[in-house]
Structure 1
Amino acid sequence: MWRNYFTVAVNALAKNRVYSIINLLGLAIGMAACLMILAFIRYETSYDRWVPDGENTYQFQTWWPDPSDGNPLFLQMSSYITAERLKKDFPQVEAVSYVLGGTPSITKNGQVTTAKDYLTADSDFLRVVDLPILKGSKTALNAPDTAVLTRSEAIRQFGTDDVVGRTISLIQKGRTYDYRINAVLADLPKRSHLRINAIVRRDFPSYFAQEPDFLTCWGCQSGWVYAKLKPGTDAGAINAQLPAWEKRNIPDENIGGTRYNAGDETDWTLVPLADVHLGKAQAGAMSPGNDRRTIATFAIIAVLILGMAVVNFTNLATARAGQRAREVALRKVLGATRRQLVAQFVGESLLVAGIAVLIALALAELLVRPFAAFLGADFHLTYLGENGMLLPALALMLIVGVAGGLYPAFFLSRFQPASVLKANKSSTETPGSGLLRSLLVVAQFAISIGLIICTAIVYGQTVYARSVDPGYKRDQILQVDNMSRYQLIGRGEPIAERMKRIPGVVAVGRTDIGVATKNSNNTGVLVPGRAEAVNLGFYKVDVGFREAMGIELVAGRWFDRARPMDDQTRSFPEKPEELQALVARGSNIVVNEFAARKLGARTPEEVLGKTFRLGVGPGNGEMPITVVGVVKDSRFRSVRDPIDPIMFIGTREGQTHMVIRYTGDPAATRAAVERVWKDSVSDVPFEAQFSEAIVQDLYEAEETRAQIFAGFAILAVVIACLGLFGLAAFTAERRTKEIGIRKVLGARTPDIVRLLVWQFSRPVLIANVIAWPLAWWAMRDWLNGFDTRMALTPTPFLVAGGLALGIAVVTIAGHAFKVARANPIRALRYE
């Protein structure tokens, strides 16, 4: 019996080649997309699950979920003191490690290069995070001044991975440290939030002996804290005790008679290592993370595209049901039961799904590597093992085969032999009104139109983000990094003066905010008459910063070298007597418009000359600060982030970046700047980026998302049009006699084409009515994630609807024209 079913199924596929190709191609495209997205989702959700004992390893994060002033912030970093107190107060914690990031300089053969992804850690890091070691042991960092390198970094620096016992020299905090290499790590998989080329061991209390506040500061989140819990420990129970732990450990401060506590708005949370990549906290990460909404969106789109392919199968199977009506009737007359008929047609569906799976796997193999490269991921298809695709492919075949074949099977098996075998019953007639087929076509095009709208809006927002006025002149800026190196203390101003003499350089300024830097520094300003401090961004700039950035002065003046109160420069490390003299003297500041409003001014002019007070740390009192100027609000970060209320302080040292405004050839300017840098600085590598490239990188994720939506939209449209093409072919065949009669009665070819095109245009028009409000709701929610956004106009909706309608018309117009031009004599002899 099954052999007979198989023979009939193969003959049916061979007899109706157009139907078979459309079904197989549609299902294969849908399945291939589904399998590739499944591979991507598995990759994203497998981050750091390869770490041994990872279920007991946690990152200790700092969260500000409900600040009274400003926006929620979730940070992966934490302060040094939290590691010390966490280990001391919770016996469930087996070990804790504090890790600093940074880019020290490597000195080798008289040359200085930048060391990327070099971590500075304490002795317990390898005990807490169990990284794979190729040579050496887990105790590699137990001794001071020791290091471990990854295999790739060892080869990069020494030409071999046989480096245990060798020495590597790094410049950190202005000093050269020699580290003995005690171990070689295996290169970490890309599916890790950790970015490590090397780990060097330092004793932090002595390393920060000149900055003791760093070791006790609860608000200085500049490194990462990792904790290993004892097996069986409930991390949730520890998290529940952390609010009380904060109150026990964090001391109150009195600033201007106002009580301040660093833990009032701050929460600390233990987050499992495997949840860091997709976790709530993405600020201060070693590597870019992702969010669960993106992963869920991918999964939903995969299901929708696969559902469209199944809809095609169901539609075409029911549309051509009339052609198999007599076969079903004869089988029933010869004794076939309905259950046998259902089994036959579901079996045919499974055969089609099986062939489609084979084609889908071939397509996925061809496309998965370009897809992974486009996403910046490192995944591929495997068929066996934990992440094997064989079982999902078989499950996909069964689900699609049964889901796509069940309704047609019941639909075909219900035919009554007597009514079907009547002499005047046309074999091309399909029972029913076709309402379900129309509804499914509407659903397909609603999905397609929705994805086209999403693509247009995501792309439009990306273009808008790049072109919206940031409040400063964002083009023709070369931003030089590395200005924060200790070696440059006292040398920044002379370097800037030399840069100004380069032909084509218009202005040079130094800052610690700049174009899309990751620097974030806030402080509380005491306003007379207010019980709570006003939180403002606190950034150092020099006199040339405003001109170099092209920021507009709204009221008052900018900093002036001739005015001592405009300069807060003091020696480093800070001398107590200098700090006390500065606090007693006070200082001038410049604020942006937003900060002026937060300080209580209704107009920029109203805040000029007002004096506020700034806490300078425990035991140092409060410094009077006077506003002398107001500048236009500037968006230094992504449009996703709100504009900061900023207070600028003038200083000749301490900035992290140099901003160079230029005219003329960018490459020539960069080369000239690099030459001057190397002539001035021999112990700090030159690193610089053009502002255009920085902004490009800033919105790369949005652009990638737009391209992904575009790819999905194309797939959806292709699948929908395949189904529409098949339905149009069968409908034209079914209406052959009707068309012949219409032509005999005087209908012209354009009339016939218009009739057939209108039949399939109506579902597309109805699909617009469904897709538009759903897409508007989804994209409005997405756009709300941006602080400034494009207007949600009707244009993308009208364009998407018109595009879908045009594609549908082109898809069916060929059939319609061919049938309309046919000789009516042939049509009337049909059957």
Structure 2
Amino acid sequence: MWRNYLLVGLRALAKSRVYAAINIAGLALGLAACLLILLYVRYEAGYDRWMPGSDRAFQLQTFYSATETGGEEMKLQVSSIVAGRALAKDYPDQVERRVWVRGFSPVVIQDGQASQIEKLRMADGNLFEIMDVPFVRGSAATALPDAHSIALSESEAKRRFGDVDPTGRTLTIVDNNGPVDYRVTAVFKDWPRNSSFSAGAVARFDLEAQFADRRDQLTAWDSQSGWNFYRLRAPADAALIMSRMPAWEKRNIPDYPGGGRRVNPGDYQDYRLVALPDVHLGEAQNSGPTPGNDRATVATFAVIAFLILGMACVNFTNLATARASQRAREVALRKVLGASRGQLIAQFLTEAVLVTAIAMLLALAAVELLLPSFNAFLKADMQLQYLGGDGWLGWIVLLTLVVGLLAGLYPAFYLARFEPAKILKANKSVADAQGSGRLRNALVIGQFAVSIGLIICTAVIDAQTAYARTADAGYVRDGLLQIGNIGYKGVDGRDQQVAEQLRRVPGVVAAARTQIAVDPDNNSISAIYTGPSAGDQVDVGRYGVEPGFFRAMGMKILAGRDFSEGIGRDDATTPYPLDRAAEQAFAQRGANVVVTREAARRLGFANPADAIGKALYASLSLDEFGRVPITIVGVVEDARFRSIRDPLQPIMYNMQRNGFDSLVVRYEGDPAAVREAAERVWKRNIPQVPFAARYADDIVRELYDREAARGQLFAAFAILAVVIGCLGLFGLAAFTAERRTKEIGIRKVLGARTVDIVRLLVWQFSRPVLIANLIAWPVAWWLMRDWLNGFDQRIALTPVPFLIAGGLAMAIAVLTVASHAWHVARTSPVRALRYE
């Protein structure tokens, strides 16, 4: 019986090749898109699940709530050293291992040559006892036996030592204590891309020695400079710890001086233990070892996958019901010869599954061909495995059956209900049977509503990304070169020489060192400032710069003046490490500062000019010296150094002579020539530290690469949705025109022109598109409004993308139908009247 069903199905497909081609192509496109998106969704949801025991590995995260002093809400993956230690100490029965990890890229000296290791992680314990990664040489237990051992990734070991066994070799890392030798003890396999943590190398260091010159960071609850990782004895222990977290915070977090009063970080600071597999799509996306993703975005793509697949199924249903006139007599004759309704339903469902199976084979071929490019585009490592624990074969078979049954279910029941007496007696078709036309119109409306919605989302995402890259950031991006690596121990103060010599390079307009620069790796420094009384307190970012910084950045001074080398009170430099006598002298003398427009506004000044000469007060780390007098001597335009997703930080700049992280260079002329000249200056002064320079335009472009990639994915799926919709529309137009051949002939005999016939057919298929706009517009508006609200600075949601999407969908639908309608309308009435 099933063999007969299969043969009949193949013959039916061979008889209607156009119908078969449209159905198979539409389903193949839908299935290919669905498989690619589901691969991506599974990949994103599967972060860190490759690691044995990942359900027992946890990260301690820090959540800041907005404060009455203007402190911004932040969700950070980093946490303080003291918090990590205190949690492990208070829960010894639950915490099996704890390791604090610092992520940075110091200078590494090998055979006298200086270089850097991308993603070098410094840990105060054996990280591999928490994160179970496979090893090429050595093992997790012996990888980091002491404080001067280092394990390299397989690719880093090959890059540095080739095929030679690197274990036992020495690498010198230049950290806060100067050059320190580390012995290579193991080589681990490269961290998989679907990991919330990754490393090119992991070195174990002595935490106390590392922070010997800044002991305050070991006990400061407000100093988050690394990640605390834990291995719990059981996954359920995390829930126990979290249930006691509020009491733990209250018991452990002490007050500290701020703005002339005692402040407790626990009032606005909370800690959460998050399982490693939940980090990538978790709430905290700032300061992570690797870029995270948004759970809502991944869920959105999953919905899109099924919407596109649903559109392909709609095509099958529409074409099958429209083609009912060609199968009516077949059904009638089968029933007369004894076929039951159940057998007919089984026959048509078999045909639907057969078409889906053929489409699935084509879709799998397309996925195999597209997957390398898809991986390269998303910087992922997705694989389509058919067998094994992660195999897709079972899901593919299930998807084929489900899609085949869903697509063919209604046509099967619809065709099987025909009454043979009515069909054979009248020799008529039932293509216009009651309800079939309405259903097809409803399905077409749904298809185009999805297509229009995706086009709108694509347009809005693209416009917001373009706006983010080109919006006025408060500084001039063009002609700005940013040089890093000036904060390392090996620089030894020679960064000042580099800055002075760069100012004499032809083409260089200005150069200055700074603690803040474009995309500062989530580094945020803030302090609480008050007015003349101890009343209004404001949390303001505080960063050191040297004279000439505003000119180098192209920042506009709105009121007052810039810093000056000739005015002693402008200089806010204090010795580092901490010097109590110098702190006391500075507290008595005070300093001049320059603030941004937003900082002046939050401090209570309506106009920038009103802030000039006004006195403020700040607290130093040593509260015993009281409040430090601060005088505003200048107000500059707000500068957005981070992504426009982050709130604009009000900033107070102070002039200093050390402790900088970057050097910014304003230039005119050939960028390559200026960069080469800057590199020569660097190597002449600091040859042992690698030269690292990037153009501000490149930094900003990379900052929004994820948004751009998301927009391009939406565009690709929108195009695919439109193509699938047009395939179905073309098929419906062809069958509708064929069904109305006689009507068209009569209309032409009675004087209708070809244009009139085309207009009639086009209007029939234009109405569903117009109705689809009424559905798609409010849904897309709601989704895009919510997405845009995630940006601190955003475009206005105007009617333009909605009108463009609606017009584009209408134009595509009209062209799809008109091309076939024109061909039918030009047919001779004689041939049309001979039809049937």
TM value normalised by structure 1: 0.98
- For the Cα contact (< 8 Å) 2:529–2:537, is it kept in 1? yes
* Corresponding position of 1:765: 770
Matching of residues 50-199 of structure 1 within 5 Å: 50-68=50-68, 69-91=70-92, 92-137=94-139, 138-160=141-163, 162-173=165-176, 175-199=178-202
Q: Structure 1 85/806 Cα, relative in aligned 2: closer, same or farther at 3 Å?
A: same
- For the Cα contact (< 8 Å) 1:122–1:141, is it kept in 2? no
- For the Cα contact (< 8 Å) 2:569–2:591, is it kept in 1? yes
* Corresponding position of 1:566: 570
Q: Structure 1 573/70 Cα, relative in aligned 2: closer, same or farther at 3 Å?
A: closer
Deviation, structure 1 residue 540: 0.8
Residue correspondences, number: 831
Match of 1:557 among 545, 554, 561: 561
Equivalent position SS for 1:222: strand
Q: Structure 1 497/710 Cα, relative in aligned 2: closer, same or farther at 3 Å?
A: same
Deviation, structure 1 residue 160: 2.6
Match of 1:598 among 575, 579, 602: 602
Deviation, structure 1 residue 99: 0.9
Deviation, structure 1 residue 430: 5.3
- For the Cα contact (< 8 Å) 2:321–2:431, is it kept in 1? no
In the alignment, structure 1 segments of 5+ residues that lack a partner are none
Q: Deviations over 1:343-379 (max 9, x none)?
A: 1111111111111111111111111111121111111
Equivalent position SS for 1:543: coil
Amino acid at match of 2:697: E
* Corresponding position of 1:624: 629
Counterpart check, 1:216 vs 2:219: yes
* Corresponding position of 2:495: 492
Q: State the percentage of identical aligned residues.
A: 54
- For the Cα contact (< 8 Å) 1:489–1:653, is it kept in 2? no
Distance 1:204 1:750 in 2: 83
* Corresponding position of 1:350: 353
Deviation, structure 1 residue 765: 1.4
Distance 1:401 1:433 in 2: 20
Amino acid at match of 2:64: W
Counterpart check, 1:742 vs 2:744: no
Distance 2:749 2:259 in 1: 98
Amino acid at match of 1:541: V
Match of 1:587 among 586, 591, 612: 591
Distance 1:148 1:60 in 2: 24
Distance 2:110 2:654 in 1: 38
Match of 2:477 among 459, 474, 479: 474
Distance 1:493 1:260 in 2: 37
Distance 1:368 1:10 in 2: 31
Q: Deviations over 1:367-401 (max 9, x none)?
A: 11111211111112111122212111111111111
Counterpart check, 1:756 vs 2:743: no
Q: Structure 1 650/692 Cα, relative in aligned 2: closer, same or farther at 3 Å?
A: same
* Corresponding position of 2:546: 542
Match of 1:789 among 784, 789, 794: 794
* Corresponding position of 2:275: 272
Counterpart check, 1:400 vs 2:406: no
Counterpart check, 1:526 vs 2:530: yes
Deviation, structure 1 residue 276: 1.0
Q: Structure 1 424/207 Cα, relative in aligned 2: closer, same or farther at 3 Å?
A: closer
Match of 2:319 among 310, 316, 338: 316
TM value normalised by structure 2: 0.97
Q: Structure 1 255/477 Cα, relative in aligned 2: closer, same or farther at 3 Å?
A: closer
* Corresponding position of 1:379: 382
More deviation in 456-465 or 226-235? Answer: 226-235
Amino acid at match of 2:55: E
Distance 1:620 1:468 in 2: 45
- For the Cα contact (< 8 Å) 2:39–2:382, is it kept in 1? yes
Distance 2:321 2:514 in 1: 69
Distance 2:264 2:640 in 1: 30
Q: Structure 1 89/102 Cα, relative in aligned 2: closer, same or farther at 3 Å?
A: same
Amino acid at match of 2:111: N
- For the Cα contact (< 8 Å) 1:429–1:734, is it kept in 2? no
Equivalent position SS for 1:406: helix
Distance 2:464 2:97 in 1: 46
Distance 1:804 1:211 in 2: 63
Equivalent position SS for 1:63: strand
Equivalent position SS for 1:719: helix
More deviation in 437-446 or 418-427? Answer: 418-427
Deviation, structure 1 residue 619: 4.4
Q: Deviations over 1:13-54 (max 9, x none)?
A: 111111100000100110111111111111111111122211
Q: Structure 1 600/736 Cα, relative in aligned 2: closer, same or farther at 3 Å?
A: same
Distance 2:637 2:66 in 1: 28
Matching of residues 212-251 of structure 1 within 5 Å: 212-231=215-234, 233-251=236-254
Equivalent position SS for 1:456: helix
Match of 1:614 among 618, 627, 630: 618
Matching of residues 640-719 of structure 1 within 5 Å: 640-719=645-724
Which of structure 1's runs of 4+ aligned residues deviate more than 6 A?
Answer: none
Distance 1:14 1:106 in 2: 68
Deviation, structure 1 residue 618: 3.8
More deviation in 522-531 or 596-605? Answer: 522-531
Amino acid at match of 2:514: T
Q: Structure 1 546/37 Cα, relative in aligned 2: closer, same or farther at 3 Å?
A: same
Q: Deviations over 1:705-748 (max 9, x none)?
A: 11101100110000000000000000010000000111111111
Q: Structure 1 26/321 Cα, relative in aligned 2: closer, same or farther at 3 Å?
A: same
- For the Cα contact (< 8 Å) 1:492–1:653, is it kept in 2? no
* Corresponding position of 1:330: 333
Matching of residues 417-432 of structure 1 within 5 Å: 417-426=420-429, 432=435
Q: Structure 1 754/588 Cα, relative in aligned 2: closer, same or farther at 3 Å?
A: same
Deviation, structure 1 residue 498: 0.3
More deviation in 496-505 or 168-177? Answer: 168-177
Counterpart check, 1:19 vs 2:44: no
Deviation, structure 1 residue 620: 4.6
Deviation, structure 1 residue 783: 1.0
Counterpart check, 1:578 vs 2:582: yes
Q: Deviations over 1:104-148 (max 9, x none)?
A: 111123321122211111123222222322222313322231111
Distance 2:578 2:282 in 1: 38
- For the Cα contact (< 8 Å) 1:174–1:485, is it kept in 2? no
Distance 2:607 2:802 in 1: 40
- For the Cα contact (< 8 Å) 1:369–1:380, is it kept in 2? no
- For the Cα contact (< 8 Å) 1:772–1:797, is it kept in 2? yes
Q: Deviations over 1:168-206 (max 9, x none)?
A: 111112611111111111211111121211111111112
Equivalent position SS for 1:101: strand
Distance 2:223 2:473 in 1: 29
Distance 1:765 1:443 in 2: 11
- For the Cα contact (< 8 Å) 1:757–1:813, is it kept in 2? yes
Q: Structure 1 328/366 Cα, relative in aligned 2: closer, same or farther at 3 Å?
A: same
